[in-house]
């Protein structure tokens, strides 16, 4: 009787701690007790010999306390990582002696897979997993789902969905050759030469001294030579006048209204497990924007970002490494909200005067073309066609090839409309530099 009471007490305490019984417990307890009872009533020793060990083993397994269910804890990892980085994730657990094994499932970062299941003994304290973030974006990359079992699996806890670990994976920066941007006429300090005089390093002319000129600009050699010709060495001081170095602005316009791949059959469905279609138009646009921003910020230009679908996510032009980090974070935010806008929005006040505007878009609708041509009336606009090529027809419908031909013809007509309105159209971000050199020459 005492053993039965201990069995019931252990079961109740485990239930209050968060454990639940399994079929193995009922089979061991009910089956063992039933065999022993029937054997005593019928005076069958064989039934008692079979049922007693089963009942005693069940009671002995429950006699070891299981305590609170173990909860895996993940050691802190960086909140922001680079695409292609890897890290060692350590998951620690603390279990009581009554826990026999712990099953932990880890999702695979950047994929739709739930990941492998790791089966650990109750004495194990640390699980180490290798993580690698191959795809950029933001979302859940590690979630230790777990299930714990007591001895002989008589009690289990779970399965429990673990605490989600979110991380921002910044898009990669690919080295890109940059071209010369036209300087802003209103600037006074920067990396580009302007036609107006001012502070700089490139000589513009040497002229006679005028009221307002600084004495440190006097060229004494030229002054002495000019004075020797007139007989008065200091009669007409001459000063050196430089070209002013001014800022140049580059504004990247991201088309987040559409994210398409080369397969027309996939346009109507979302990519499973990811927010951005790998190898699609938005993926290529974000990578191109990061590369262009890094290249022009490196040479001292000001770079900003405009999201056609969400103007509130735009980033004003800035300089330096901090601006590049902010811009890459903003690209991830734009991709997270992609596809929810009904039409493109580009306000004139978003583009500074004299800035070069680079459109990164597949140009699948006339509204985007209209936004680019309207901007071209006031700025130099370069359109980078991000539509994957060549398009692949849908093999599941007899009209697949016809649809492909129509889409290709409409896209080509939009490209021609851009060129007719003064917009330079290129097929890759690498061609932006050549276009800028052609414009400056």
The answer to whether 352 touches 249, Cβ cutoff 8 Å, is yes
Token pair listed for 329 = 């974070």
User: pLDDT band at residue 254, thresholds of 50, 70 and 90?
Assistant: very high
Q: What is the mean pLDDT of the chain?
A: 80
| Tokens 């290709």 found at | 408
Asked whether residue 233 carries a pLDDT value surpassing 90, the answer given is no
User: pLDDT band at residue 186, thresholds of 50, 70 and 90?
Assistant: very low
Q: What is the mean pLDDT of residues 130-153?
A: 79
Question: Residue 325's closest CA among 305, 310, 354, 344?
Answer: 305
Residues 6+ apart with CB under 8 A from 319: 297, 300, 301, 302, 303
Q: What is the 3-state secondary structure (H, E, C) of 210-263?
A: CCCCCHHHECHHHHHHHHHHHCCCCCCCEEEEEEEEECCEEEEEECCCCCCCCE
For the ranges 60-64, 191-195, 221-225, 411-415, the lowest mean pLDDT is seen at 191-195
Q: Write down the pLDDT at residue 122.
A: 75
Asked whether residue 11 carries a pLDDT value surpassing 60, the answer given is no
Asked whether residue 1 carries a pLDDT value surpassing 70, the answer given is no
Question: Residue 345's closest CA among 384, 324, 371, 325?
Answer: 371
Question: Residue 169's closest CA among 137, 146, 196, 195?
Answer: 137
User: pLDDT band at residue 266, thresholds of 50, 70 and 90?
Assistant: confident
Residues 273-291 pLDDT 10s: 667 888 889 999 999 999 9
Asked whether residue 188 carries a pLDDT value surpassing 50, the answer given is no
> Is residue 424 within a helix (H) or strand (E), and if so which, with residue range?
strand 424-426
For the ranges 42-46, 103-107, 232-236, 274-278, the lowest mean pLDDT is seen at 232-236
Domain ranges of the chain: 2-63, 73-170, 203-245, 249-440
Buried b (16+ CB within 10 A) or exposed e, 365-393: beebbebbbebbeebbbbbbbbbbeebeb
Q: Write down the pLDDT at residue 304.
A: 94
Q: What is the 3-state secondary structure (H, E, C) of 298-357?
A: HCCCEEEEEECCCHHHCEEEECHHHHHHHHHHHHHHHHHCCCCCCCCCCCHHHCCCCCEE
Residues 210-229 pLDDT 10s: 777 777 777 777 777 777 66
Residue bearing the bigger pLDDT, 190 or 401: 401
Asked whether residue 242 carries a pLDDT value surpassing 70, the answer given is no
> Is residue 21 within a helix (H) or strand (E), and if so which, with residue range?
strand 20-21
Question: Residue 346's closest CA among 381, 326, 372?
Answer: 372
Q: Write down the pLDDT at residue 384.
A: 95
Please give the CATH topology (third level) of the domain spanning 73-170. Answer: Immunoglobulin-like (2.60.40)
Asked whether residue 189 carries a pLDDT value surpassing 50, the answer given is no
Residue bearing the bigger pLDDT, 97 or 293: 293
Asked whether residue 199 carries a pLDDT value surpassing 60, the answer given is no
Q: Write down the pLDDT at residue 174.
A: 86
Phi, psi of 208 (to 5 degrees): -65, 155
Q: Is 191 helix (H, G, I), strand (E, B) or coil?
A: coil
Token pair listed for 270 = 């979302």
Percentage of the chain surpassing pLDDT 90?
Answer: 22
For the ranges 26-30, 198-202, 228-232, 411-415, the lowest mean pLDDT is seen at 198-202
* Highest mean pLDDT pick, 112-126, 151-165, 211-225: 151-165
Q: Is 438 helix (H, G, I), strand (E, B) or coil?
A: helix
* Highest mean pLDDT pick, 87-91, 195-199, 333-337, 377-381: 377-381
Asked whether residue 193 carries a pLDDT value surpassing 70, the answer given is no
Q: Write down the pLDDT at residue 294.
A: 92
Percentage of the chain surpassing pLDDT 70?
Answer: 83
> How many CB atoms within 10 Å of residue 164?
12
Q: Write down the pLDDT at residue 187.
A: 44
Domain 249-440 has CATH 3.30.870: no
């Amino acid at each position: 009787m005492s053993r039965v009471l201990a069995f019931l007490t252990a079961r109740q305490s485990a239930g209050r701690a968060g454990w639940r019984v399994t079929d193995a417990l009922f089979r061991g307890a009910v089956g063992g007790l039933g065999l022993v009872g029937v054997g005593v009533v019928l005076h069958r020793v064989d039934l008692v010999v079979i049922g007693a060990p089963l009942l005693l083993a069940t009671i002995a397994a429950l006699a070891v306390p299981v305590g609170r269910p173990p909860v895996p804890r993940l050691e802190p990892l960086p909140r922001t990582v680079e695409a292609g980085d890897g890290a060692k994730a350590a998951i620690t657990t603390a279990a009581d002696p009554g826990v026999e094994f712990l099953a932990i499932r880890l999702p695979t970062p950047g994929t739709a897979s739930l990941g492998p299941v790791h089966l650990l003994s109750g004495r194990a304290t640390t699980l180490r997993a290798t993580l690698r973030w191959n795809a950029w974006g933001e979302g859940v990359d590690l979630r230790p789902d777990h299930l714990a079992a007591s001895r002989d699996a008589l009690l289990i806890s779970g399965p429990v969905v673990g605490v989600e670990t979110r991380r921002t994976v910044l898009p990669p920066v690919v080295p890109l050759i940059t071209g010369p941007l036209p300087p802003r006429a209103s600037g006074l300090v920067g990396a580009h030469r302007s036609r107006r005089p001012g502070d700089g390093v490139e000589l513009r002319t040497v002229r006679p001294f005028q009221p307002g000129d600084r004495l440190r600009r006097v060229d004494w050699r030229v002054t002495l030579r000019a004075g020797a010709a007139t007989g008065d060495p200091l009669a007409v001081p001459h000063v050196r006048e430089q070209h002013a170095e001014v800022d140049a602005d580059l504004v990247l316009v991201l088309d987040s209204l559409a994210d398409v791949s080369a397969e027309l059959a996939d346009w109507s469905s979302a990519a499973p497990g990811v927010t951005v279609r790998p190898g699609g138009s938005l993926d290529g646009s974000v990578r191109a924007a990061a590369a262009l921003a890094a290249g022009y910020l490196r040479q001292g230009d000001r770079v900003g970002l405009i999201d056609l679908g969400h103007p509130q996510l735009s980033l004003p032009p800035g300089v330096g490494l901090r601006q590049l980090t902010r811009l890459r974070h903003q690209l991830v935010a734009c991709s997270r909200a992609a596809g929810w806008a009904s039409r493109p929005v580009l306000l004139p006040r978003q583009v500074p005067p004299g800035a070069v505007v680079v459109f990164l878009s597949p140009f699948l609708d006339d509204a985007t073309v209209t936004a680019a041509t309207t901007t071209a009336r006031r700025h130099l606009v370069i359109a980078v066609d991000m539509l994957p090529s060549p398009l692949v027809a849908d093999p599941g419908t007899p009209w697949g090839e016809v649809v492909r031909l129509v889409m290709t013809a409409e896209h080509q007509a939009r490209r021609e409309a851009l060129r007719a309105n003064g917009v330079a159209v290129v097929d890759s971000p690498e061609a932006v530099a050549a276009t800028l050199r052609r414009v400056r020459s």
